[in-house]
Structure 1
Amino acid sequence: MKKQRRFRPILFGAFPLVMALLFTGCSTDENKERTWSVYKADENSSSYSPLDQINASNVGQLKPAWTFAIHDAPKGSTAGAVKPQVASTGNSQCNPIIVDGVLYATSSKQWAYAVDAATGKEIWSFDPFNGADRGNISRGVTYWETRDGGPDSDKRILFTAADRLIALDARTGKPIESFGEQGKVNLNVGLRGDPNAITVTPTSPGIVYKDLLILGSRIPDTYDEQPGFVRAYDCKTGKLVWTFHTIPQPGEPGYETWPKDAYKSVGGVNNWAGLSLDSKRGLVYLALGSPTYDFYGADRKGENLYGNCLVAVDAATGKHVWHFQTVHHDLWDYDLPAPPNLVTVHQDGKDIDAVAQITKQGFVFVFNRETGKPIFPIEELKVPVSHMPGETAWPTQPFPTKPAPFSRQSMTEADLTHYSDADHEAILKKFRSLRNEGIYTPPDLKGTLELPGTRGGGEWGGAAYDPASSYLYIKSNDAPDIQTITKVDQLDEGGNLTVFDQGKKLYTTYCAGCHGADKNGIEPSYPSLVGLKNRMNRDAALYKISVGGGPMPAFKTILQGKEEAILAYVYDLKQGDSKSNPKEVKSKPAQTKPGAPRYLNTTGYVTFKDPSGNPALRPPWGTLHALNLSTGEYAWQIPLGNDEKRQKKGAPETGQESKGGPIVTAGGLVFISGTADKKLRAIDKKTGKLLWQSTLPGIANATACSYQAKGKQYVALSVGGSDANPAGYIMAFALP
């Protein structure tokens, strides 16, 4: 376990209040009901609240103030209950925003809601699918208004649902008919492929610069997918204003880091985690993901700019200003998982406006906001070579000299758990069979241990920045993956099989690693599929399989022509069942080109566990860190969450994996949820001491928010579904 380090004292008094007001642009009298009006609090992605009515001295009195029950999923549906008597815990990711006493949020079905922020009473709701069972992960909405801000000004909610950007009247929830086509813009238009044959599904909200909405996207992580261009749309008309080519085209900087024609076929390099904005400087900061396919890159030899890059772009024009690549030629799905934090670092008596980017690898990279110059030195160090046919791993990777990694990056036999002799022997045997040379060990046909795994390290909840102390609060996971690499054409050798048996083969290859060989799932991240036909119709299931969602990748290109097969197996429709298709089909030939073999990682996104389902790596499995950005040293690090079943007597809490991030307040508190124990916690930001906690009706796999309404401070968050209400909740807490 990482040692808890001594907190270095700082001055508290008037300085925090002054810094808070400068940081948010608020005065003490005005804009108190707009302190959380942007995703992650503000354009800087700070996750910081300048409010202090709730503070370290009184947080123990915090009580539920109101609960809004989301109503877009019937009982038994997969928005909540994923198998009989078990509630879903992974669908709630929205960080609500609050503007002038109204809370705006989205649900796991991508409906939009407006709620009275003081009472929880619904004002309006909007179904973007007109009753169809669609929807995907959504982390929130964006607010825009005309700049006069008067009572008659144009006020809009901009959000995405599936592959559409939608504009609603913030007062009524009605579509703005003059925006795009009857209130919607098709996000498939303007990419490389046929808009009718591709699917772009943003999950994080865009950010507003003047009258522009700047928006990233979620792209399926498979072969033959689209490039993740970042685009800016006019907030009034929906017209596309500029596009930043994240995979450079001929004549653009970075084009030379790819094969000549890669821009025509390679996909990904998308901003799925959100953006940050320095409106004073007119710069928007993009946290970009990996090129696809994630785990094999023979068709994209080179560094692959702007894959895995933090990029500063002119917000008005989309012109490149500077960039830094955190992973060269990514083979590990080490996307930048969260928007960067715009921060101020105090060094040598000077204040430096900076940008801090957390990563899945457990690194924090800190740069001068204007120039991109590193605040702490970064070294290029040699890493292991690839043994995969046709692959050439990049020989070095960047390692910051400070701060130290916030997640474990290597694993030995001494780190393996021992819940029973049989379980230990099984994981020891597996561990010894794997290629394991530390961080950046490339995928290998013998299997590779990856730590941090594909879920981090850092996750999409991101970090919270306290302007009073320059402390960055980070939640990390310690969850190793095993990469199992299989050649695609070997998977397609199906021969003459019934629809059901072909579906079983597909499921075993692509799905069992997450949902289990028996379809019982691995809670909380991977739901059971047992009895799915009673909870989700075929169209909705096929849509989900095709476009993915949350940790689930898209299988659209892989399953093309085999849709009936996978549905037959998932729905348990064997030959002769009145609902099944009894005909026999042949497997579709592998879609590979001569000299271009394709490989898949069939066990990505699954934690290495023993046969009984226990984690193979010793705890802690989740940690909360307080990092002094000015010194690059950690003030404290504590396990977050507790698995009481697996906690040894007298041992520290185990910590747990989670995805939502922390928030920090001027009241001296860090609020965080997301762990499987269903707790919302308040922690002393100076010491890491737990001050308050509350058990929620479901897992709040989302980042909280804090705001003021009618003179009262609230802490609110989205909460996952329960048996009583599968659609989930929005809950608010306040002092009595």
Structure 2
Amino acid sequence: MRRFLTATPLLAALLFAPAVHAADRDWPTFGLDYANTRLADLPGITPRSVKKLVPKWIYQSGIAATFQATPIVTGGKIYVSLPGSHVVALDARTGVELWRYTHSKRSEKLCCGPANRGVAVDDGRVFVATVDARLVALDAASGKPLWDIELARPDNAITESGAGIKGEVGGGSGVGAAAAPLVVDGKVIVGINGVGYGLHIDAQGRAGQLAAVVGIAGKYGGIGFLAAFDAKTGQRVWQFDTVRKPADGGWEGDFVERTGDGLPLNRNIAEERANADRHRDAWEYGGGSVWNAPAYDAKTGLLYFGTGNPSPQINDSTRPGDNLYTASLIAVDAKTGRYAWHWQQIPHDKWGYDVASPPVLFDHREPGGRVVPAVGQASKLGWFYVHDRATGALLYRSDAFVPQDNLFAAASREGTRITPGVAGGVNWSPAAVDGGRGLAFVAAMHLPMRYWIKESAATADRPAGRYDSMEPADEARWGVLAALDLKQRGRLRWSVKTDQPLIGGVLALKSGVVFTGEGNGHLSAFDSLSGKRLWHFQTGAGVNAPPIGYVLDGRPYVAVAAGGSAIWGYRQGDAVIVFGLPD
């Protein structure tokens, strides 16, 4: 096993010039392909041989912090976004650092910590969307910046300190970009997050515990968007705002009483309508963060992406209506950003049920044999939703893969128990789809929450008042890796319980192996058909990033970032670890 070395870009280019091999297979985009399938073809790594995997090299960045990146592999190099939106290029054979870009933040008002979920690489450029809401293009050969533009002002969202909330929480919400960009036809597609205002704190207790999410009524937050930028110049080409404005029909919608799949929302519609005129400007702070890279259908030219909760989070008293297009799956035209359709998973969301896991594209075969191009999304609610890709119509939802109780119940002064709560289900973790076997694989969690109505103490500039809080219930929590049978309308094929809630994502192999990481430091491999655990390796830090696979010189490799997650209380580290079969 080799640990990292450092070389100048020129010396590294001479010493480690990549050779082209017919069997080489890259990992060129966030989801491996435009469909976000995360299904890799790694000849040699099978259910029989996976137990032989050993570390081939370990790169340590020196930045021990929440690490969620998907490495990108192309041309014999690995490009990784580090915590804080720094970027490194590594030799994919050895782990030697070829260059490093050090990002200088323009603001310390970060939404959700330092995590960045990956870069995009295209036509000799590396693109990183930063935690302080910038988009930077780097030269892929040297790491030198080519252009650097502002996505949004980091302090644009009006924030709140949490003063008077009995010291339970603190901090504010700043605008940033955690999602990896996607390059389509010379345009860099990326969204922003941090606009769905809510107060959060890092876990201080046992591992796998999200400490609290708090909502305060008022004009806090901003408007999210997905936008396209010219890859050569950085010029903004189009922008789709994730809050529907009055001129486009308004964000209030139809004041629906049920979700699109028929579940009662327990809303006080009469009260919302009565308050609508008083809060007619609520859309200006509406929320709708974009947490992950979209999927793209090259045949139709449509992009598919999910949106986060409305603002303020958890507390809904100042935002009557359905709050469109928050907590939705949305399709837009990749050339123009023009709206195609949306399906709102949770109208008037007051539980923090962001549509955060990236959509994935595959074909749905109906009983009569007709094939329907579909888009699926692994939800915080604990279902995998499958839609017609052309219209957004719901085809079906899967069996529940986590326990469900009291969905869409209201907050109370006694603390209403809800599961899944604000954490999920499936949080931002990417799913994987094996179209040949007709299986979708999800990394999820069982983490019951209590939804409270509480009173804040009076401060010098604010009277005492109500706030809503969602906090972990004092009971057992665990993780779930599940396989869903897409040929049987999402029937649960198998489910594996893990010691801690799963946050990070899934890699599937065509040979029949599934990988996922755990907060306890294990990277594990499972049999795709049975769920039997076949192999695991202790990395020394939480594996809270999605694994990837690539082939170089005919040899298969599995790579993952092992750096943990502060918000979940998982041990932090600074490593990228690459595994392969013995020489």
Instruction: Please give the alpha-carbon distance, in whole angstroms, between the structure 1 residues aligned to 2:243 and 2:107.
Output: 34
Q: Which of 402, 405, 426 is residue 400 of structure 2 equivalent to?
A: 405
Q: CA deviation at 1:232?
A: 1.3
Instruction: Please give the alpha-carbon distance, in whole angstroms, between the structure 1 residues aligned to 2:93 and 2:484.
Output: 34
Instruction: Please give the alpha-carbon distance, in whole angstroms, between the structure 1 residues aligned to 2:38 and 2:558.
Output: 12
Q: Secondary structure at the match of 1:265?
A: helix
Instruction: Please give the alpha-carbon distance, in whole angstroms, between the structure 2 residues aligned to 1:408 and 1:680.
Output: 24
Shift of the 125–281 alpha-carbon distance from structure 1 to 2, 3 Å rule, reads same
Q: CA deviation at 1:238?
A: 1.0
Match of 2:342 in 1: 323
Match of 2:212 in 1: none
Instruction: Please give the alpha-carbon distance, in whole angstroms, between the structure 1 residues aligned to 2:356 and 2:324.
Output: 17
Match of 1:510 in 2: none
Structure 2 gap segments, 5+ residues each: 1-20, 160-171, 199-218, 256-275, 566-570
Match of 1:144 in 2: 122
**Is this contact kept in 1: 2:156–2:175, CA < 8 A?**
no
Q: CA deviation at 1:675?
A: 3.2
Shift of the 174–161 alpha-carbon distance from structure 1 to 2, 3 Å rule, reads farther
Match of 1:251 in 2: 247
Instruction: Please give the alpha-carbon distance, in whole angstroms, between the structure 2 residues aligned to 1:46 and 1:598.
Output: 47
Confirm or deny that 1:366 pairs with 2:231: no
Confirm or deny that 1:671 pairs with 2:538: no
Q: State the Cα deviation string for residues 418-447 of structure 1 (Å, max 9, x = none).
A: xxxxxxxxxxxxxxxxxxxx1110223332
Instruction: Please give the alpha-carbon distance, in whole angstroms, between the structure 1 residues aligned to 2:545 and 2:560.
Output: 7
Q: Which of 26, 45, 51 is residue 60 of structure 1 equivalent to?
A: 51
**Is this contact kept in 1: 2:155–2:174, CA < 8 A?**
no
**Is this contact kept in 1: 2:251–2:325, CA < 8 A?**
no
Q: CA deviation at 1:267?
A: 2.8
Of Structure 1 and Structure 2, which has the larger fraction of its residues in helix?
1
Match of 2:440 in 1: 472
Q: CA deviation at 1:728?
A: 1.0
Confirm or deny that 1:703 pairs with 2:560: no
Confirm or deny that 1:112 pairs with 2:87: yes
Q: Secondary structure at the match of 2:503?
A: coil
Q: What pairs with 1:79-228 in structure 2 (closer than 5 Å)?
A: 79-80=64-65, 91-129=66-104, 136-145=114-123, 154-176=124-146, 183-188=147-152, 199-220=174-195, 221-222=197-198, 223-228=219-224
Instruction: Please give the alpha-carbon distance, in whole angstroms, between the structure 1 residues aligned to 2:430 and 2:173.
Output: 29
Instruction: Please give the alpha-carbon distance, in whole angstroms, between the structure 1 residues aligned to 2:184 and 2:343.
Output: 23
Q: Which of 421, 428, 451 is residue 419 of structure 2 equivalent to?
A: 451
Q: What pairs with 1:612-631 in structure 2 (closer than 5 Å)?
A: 616-617=475-476, 621-631=478-488
Q: Secondary structure at the match of 1:105?
A: strand
Match of 1:23 in 2: none
Q: Percent identity?
A: 29
**Is this contact kept in 2: 1:37–1:99, CA < 8 A?**
yes
Instruction: Please give the alpha-carbon distance, in whole angstroms, between the structure 2 residues aligned to 1:253 and 1:234.
Output: 30
Aligned residues: 498
1:406 maps to a residue whose letter is F
Q: CA deviation at 1:298?
A: 2.2
Instruction: Please give the alpha-carbon distance, in whole angstroms, between the structure 1 residues aligned to 2:105 and 2:155.
Output: 26
Q: Secondary structure at the match of 1:630?
A: helix
1:483 maps to a residue whose letter is Y
2:398 maps to a residue whose letter is P
Shift of the 193–674 alpha-carbon distance from structure 1 to 2, 3 Å rule, reads closer
Confirm or deny that 1:600 pairs with 2:467: yes
Q: State the Cα deviation string for residues 648-689 of structure 1 (Å, max 9, x = none).
A: xxxxxxxx202111110112100111232x211111101111
Instruction: Please give the alpha-carbon distance, in whole angstroms, between the structure 1 residues aligned to 2:530 and 2:411.
Output: 40
Confirm or deny that 1:314 pairs with 2:282: no
Q: Secondary structure at the match of 1:292?
A: coil
1:64 maps to a residue whose letter is P
TM-score, length of structure 1 as denominator length: 0.64
Confirm or deny that 1:734 pairs with 2:580: yes
Q: CA deviation at 1:483?
A: 2.0
Shift of the 355–667 alpha-carbon distance from structure 1 to 2, 3 Å rule, reads same
**Is this contact kept in 2: 1:296–1:598, CA < 8 A?**
no
Match of 2:207 in 1: none
Of Structure 1 and Structure 2, which has the larger fraction of its residues in strand?
2
Instruction: Please give the alpha-carbon distance, in whole angstroms, between the structure 2 residues aligned to 1:194 and 1:357.
Output: 31
**Is this contact kept in 2: 1:296–1:599, CA < 8 A?**
no
TM-score, length of structure 2 as denominator length: 0.80
Match of 1:718 in 2: 561
Shift of the 273–443 alpha-carbon distance from structure 1 to 2, 3 Å rule, reads farther
Q: State the Cα deviation string for residues 67-115 of structure 1 (Å, max 9, x = none).
A: 00112x3xxxxx35xxxxxxxxxx1211111011111111223211110
Q: Which of 295, 312, 319 is residue 276 of structure 1 equivalent to?
A: 295
1:188 maps to a residue whose letter is A
Instruction: Please give the alpha-carbon distance, in whole angstroms, between the structure 1 residues aligned to 2:57 and 2:35.
Output: 29
Q: Secondary structure at the match of 1:307?
A: coil
Instruction: Please give the alpha-carbon distance, in whole angstroms, between the structure 2 residues aligned to 1:626 and 1:404.
Output: 10
Q: CA deviation at 1:599?
A: 4.1
2:126 maps to a residue whose letter is R
Q: Secondary structure at the match of 1:45?
A: coil
Instruction: Please give the alpha-carbon distance, in whole angstroms, between the structure 2 residues aligned to 1:213 and 1:340.
Output: 18
Q: CA deviation at 1:716?
A: 0.4
Confirm or deny that 1:349 pairs with 2:369: yes
Which entry has the higher C-alpha Rg, 1 or 2? 1
Instruction: Please give the alpha-carbon distance, in whole angstroms, between the structure 1 residues aligned to 2:563 and 2:446.
Output: 23
Q: CA deviation at 1:121?
A: 0.7
1:719 maps to a residue whose letter is A
Shift of the 455–286 alpha-carbon distance from structure 1 to 2, 3 Å rule, reads same
**Is this contact kept in 1: 2:328–2:355, CA < 8 A?**
yes
Q: Secondary structure at the match of 2:130?
A: strand
Confirm or deny that 1:334 pairs with 2:330: no
Instruction: Please give the alpha-carbon distance, in whole angstroms, between the structure 1 residues aligned to 2:68 and 2:90.
Output: 17
Match of 1:37 in 2: 28
**Is this contact kept in 1: 2:85–2:128, CA < 8 A?**
no
Q: State the Cα deviation string for residues 520-552 of structure 1 (Å, max 9, x = none).
A: xxxxxxxxxxxxxxxxxxxxxxxxxxxxxxxxx
Q: Hey, which bits of structure 1, 4+ residues long, moved more than 6 A?
A: 130-135, 190-195
Instruction: Please give the alpha-carbon distance, in whole angstroms, between the structure 1 residues aligned to 2:572 and 2:281.
Output: 44
Q: CA deviation at 1:64?
A: 0.5
Q: CA deviation at 1:192?
A: 7.2
**Is this contact kept in 1: 2:84–2:103, CA < 8 A?**
no
Shift of the 155–273 alpha-carbon distance from structure 1 to 2, 3 Å rule, reads closer
> RMSD of aligned C-alpha atoms?
2.8
Instruction: Please give the alpha-carbon distance, in whole angstroms, between the structure 2 residues aligned to 1:202 and 1:66.
Output: 30
Q: CA deviation at 1:696?
A: 1.1
Q: CA deviation at 1:201?
A: 0.8
2:234 maps to a residue whose letter is G
Match of 2:164 in 1: none
**Is this contact kept in 2: 1:191–1:229, CA < 8 A?**
no
Q: State the Cα deviation string for residues 281-310 of structure 1 (Å, max 9, x = none).
A: 110012011101121222221111111110
Confirm or deny that 1:440 pairs with 2:408: yes
Match of 2:9 in 1: none
Shift of the 353–481 alpha-carbon distance from structure 1 to 2, 3 Å rule, reads same
Q: CA deviation at 1:170?
A: 0.8
**Is this contact kept in 2: 1:164–1:185, CA < 8 A?**
yes
Q: What pairs with 1:430-579 in structure 2 (closer than 5 Å)?
A: 438-487=406-455, 490-491=456-457, 493-494=458-459
Confirm or deny that 1:295 pairs with 2:314: yes
